[in-house]
Chains A and B, each alone.
Chain A
Amino acid sequence: MNELFRRLLMLPPQASSVARDVDTLHFALISVSVLGWLGVLSASIWFVVRGRRTGENGAPRGLRKFPSWLEPAVIGALLSGFVGVWLIGHAQYVHIQTPPRESLDVYVVAKQWMWSFAYEDGTASQHDLFVPARRPVRLLITSRDVVHSFFVPAFRIKQDAVPGRMTVAWFRATQPGSYPLLCTEYCGLSHSRMRGRVIALEPAHFEGWRRRFIDRDRPELSAISAGVGRARGATDDLASQGERVASERGCTRCHTIDGTPHLGPSWAGLYRSQVALQDGRRITADDAYLTRSMMDPLHELRVGFQAIMPSYLGELSAAETGALVAFIHSLERAPSAPRRAPLPYPSTTPVVVPAQRAPGKPGDSASPQLEVETIPTPATERP
């Protein structure tokens, strides 16, 4: 019954501890609404049909009095019905808004147009929020610029991210999987692209992910965090580190690496090319220019692009910046035949963990290919 209604009303899977209850109230309310709606309509139609038949002589059939108890009865029924709905809805709301005590805390910072997450032990990620399944997670949410809203449809939770304030939400994912994360408060140009994922892992895998993340010198670990699997044994030169950083930091959401125009200039063939700036100058896109563009992107804005890129000053480490420049350098002679840009939002099918990508094919990092049930178990990968 629950599943039938859910599919009929096109609701996402019920992946959190509160989703089922919320949906039950939803189904009940929609059913009563449709019944009430049909009732009012059929009564109107019945009155019209009778009125048409008897009204031919031009006179009304006569006005019959309604019994005097009808008015208070109708008002009483409406009052108790609506107050009943309110009681259930309010009780559920209090539950949704009150995090349990033993929850894992994650600090969520929204900005135009990305999500970043930090854990109390210093672990951090962007776009993708990694959480253990079956354990309550408390989110402490704020924003660095405008109002955003953290929305995971499969969890039936949503909370605004308000600059200058901290808001709180919580959820408990009932099973491992990948669930779309959306921004629901309009925040400008790329509002509809401000998407990420909540990736719920088996608690043991989550611990593995967290330990590996801290241990940054082991590249296959951050590969998982970036959602881009890498073949083990591939040479880890500066350019491929840069490719990983580009994916982790969300650069490839706006910049393509195959020459396709997107929100930002494509990186293919960009290195040492002549670019026209909006102030009329032409400039060579050398290492210095590329670095400046990351730190103060609006200062030397290219012709044909919006002033939308946020500054990465203080966001990127020196090593990451160097790696990014090396990566852009490696694309100097990249094929610039435009292909259709891959859509940068995640697949809606429940996905477990990033799959591995064949080495030496640098085209797909903008949209990580995901497959179900390819969990690299941390225990076996450890040398």
Chain B
Amino acid sequence: MSVDEGMASQAAPRERSFWTADTSVRSWLLTRDHKRIGILFLVGTSLSLALGGLFALLLRLELLTPDRTIMGPTTYNKLFTQHGVVMVWMFMIPAIPGIFGNFMLPIMIGARDVAFPTLNLASFWVYVLGAVVTLTALAAGGVDTGWTFYVPYSATSLSAVGWTVTGVFILGISTIMSAINFIVTTHTLRVQGLGWMQLPLFVWAIYGTAIIQVVATPVLGLSLLLVGLDHGFKLGIFDPQYGGDPIFYQHLFWFYSHPAVYIMILPGFGVISEVVSSFSHNPPVSYRLIVYSTFGISFVGFLTWGHHMFVSGMSTFDAGIFGLLSMFVAIFSAIKVFAWTMTLRGGAISLTTPLLYFFGFMFLFVFGGMTGVAVASESLDVHWHDTYFVVAHFHFVMVGGTLTAFLAALHYWFPKMTGRRYPERLGIASSSLVVLGFFFTFMPQFLLGNAGMPRRYYSYPEAYQWLNVLSTGGASVLACGLLLTLSYLCVACVRGAPAGDNPWGSRCFEWRVASPPPKHNFTELPDFERGAYAYAEEGGLP
């Protein structure tokens, strides 16, 4: 593999990297090396991102005009459902843990691999199986229920509900497999002397995420299984036609899907903590508070699901409790935001693409988070529930947060994974395109929601058109930015300049092994004595 050529220029004979240790196709497809599995996840989730993005562009094209533009309502309804299903379960949830969690977590704790390498490989292939089943449902006519599968619509819909929920069920199994691996690895394979409060923040984030995944995902699997049975066999768990209760489904679904929001964003938080520290050459301000708020979010995140149901006929007492608990999640997130901002203070800052994505993250996520406080306020949610305001809010958090964190991670760890540099100027250009394109895609949607445009609307009153046109324009800019990123990263994989082991001058543990790492990560255990954020200590920057 040509990726390794960069290493040839280095004087000392080095162990072959994990890329070139074994080059047969079989050695890739059946690999139990956590780094290669990370690369496989990178390919899989990037394809999903491209597919989900294509669906999104088609939706935005359709919404250019108030009535039919390029497709009928049936196709539109299927497309927004598939967009949600692909983006949530095939990209957002597996992306950062699957790629960077797999690649970095063992190295960061001084392990040669995860605790269960075979289970790790299985989690990838189960992911592929789940993705294939979910996408065959598309070929079998698609599904038109929305990614939330609300009963009784999903129980009576004539579309391929059974196939799709089976696919999502399988994807959930893959998630649980990965999560178990991360939890056990963090508990048992830390290098001797590496205490919990010395772990890099990214490890904490992946660990916190894994706990949510293990606890919440089975509830989703169960609920979707029951929806499938309701749909296929008229079981009547949720469908009132047969004595079921649709509100019961909403409780079960959001009991998973609200924590799932944190499954999607917590790994992003971990990336952001690493990036801001590495590029300001400062230890994170209040490591302790960042760790505590990660767990605050994991725990309180389980108790806020009812805020998705303020207008479903919930009692005012229940709504009050869910509303109050939702505010606590906001506090934990705000603590992190302040900690990241203060980490920049007094730092020696190198303005590179990952740091630009960090600013993109702060720019978008902070606004998304604050509008989250707005929709969590019960009386405001009555107006905004199920309008475009909510669409804009969760895209600000999920795309503005998770996607920018994903891109930050991709650039930050690109030299680690490939041993090469990406072109910095193109990186800066594309990150500006992504952040601006994103802003113009979703900012108009806040106003649409204020004006009262409900979500999942195929046709809309003409007064809303100019905002929709603006949004579609922004989406095209965003797509250009992502395509540019994809193309220069592919080229840089092969032709990028050699990066050296630690091009950013980071002190975090993963930069103390060779870039790209050899097959078993290291022959001699690197120094874990000096802390991952020991920027104040003697020795200057490497």
Contacts and interface: CB of A to CB of B under 8 A. Distances in A.
Interface string A192-229: 11000000000000000000000000000000000000
Given A25-B379, A58-B348, A343 B66 contact: yes
Contacts of B241: 163
A156 B366 contact: no
Interface string A148-164: 01010110111110111
B470 interface: no
A94 B318 CA distance: 11
Contacts of A191: 77, 456-458
A10 B347 CA distance: 42
A290 interface: no
Interface in A27-70: 29-30, 32-33, 36-37, 40-41, 43-44, 47-48, 50-52, 54-55, 58-64, 66
Contacts of A21: 379
Contacts of B157: 188
Contacts, number: 264
B215 interface: no
A85 B377 contact: yes
Given A78-B335, A191-B456, A29 B377 contact: yes
Interface residues of A, number: 90
A186 B146 contact: yes
A331 interface: no
A60 B158 CA distance: 63
A59 B73 contact: no
A69 to B, nearest CB: 13
Nearest to B363: A41
Interface residues of B, number: 89
A33 B370 contact: yes
B425 to A, nearest CB: 17
Interface stretch (A125-133, A176-184, A238-246, A321-329): A176-184
A223 to B, nearest CB: 25
B490 interface: no
A38 to B, nearest CB: 10
Interface string B303-337: 00000001111001001100110011011001101
A94 B377 CA distance: 12
B1 to A, nearest CB: 34
A75 interface: yes
Given A71-B286, A186-B150, A189-B77, A64 B346 contact: yes
Nearest to A146: B153
B74 A306 contact: yes
A22 interface: yes
The 9 closest A-B pairs by CB, nearest first: A153-B452, A55-B348, A164-B240, A89-B377, A92-B379, A51-B349, A33-B370, A93-B378, A47-B344
Given A51-B347, A93-B323, A168-B313, 10 more contacts: A18-B379, A40-B366, A51-B280, A60-B536, A86-B323, A151-B452, A156-B382, A157-B383, A162-B247, A163-B152
Interface of A: 9-12, 18, 21-22, 25-26, 29-30, 32-33, 36-37, 40-41, 43-44, 47-48, 50-52, 54-55, 58-64, 66, 71, 74-75, 78-79, 82-83, 85-86, 88-98, 145-147, 149, 151, 153-154, 156-160, 162-165, 167-168, 180, 182-193, 306-307, 343, 345, 348
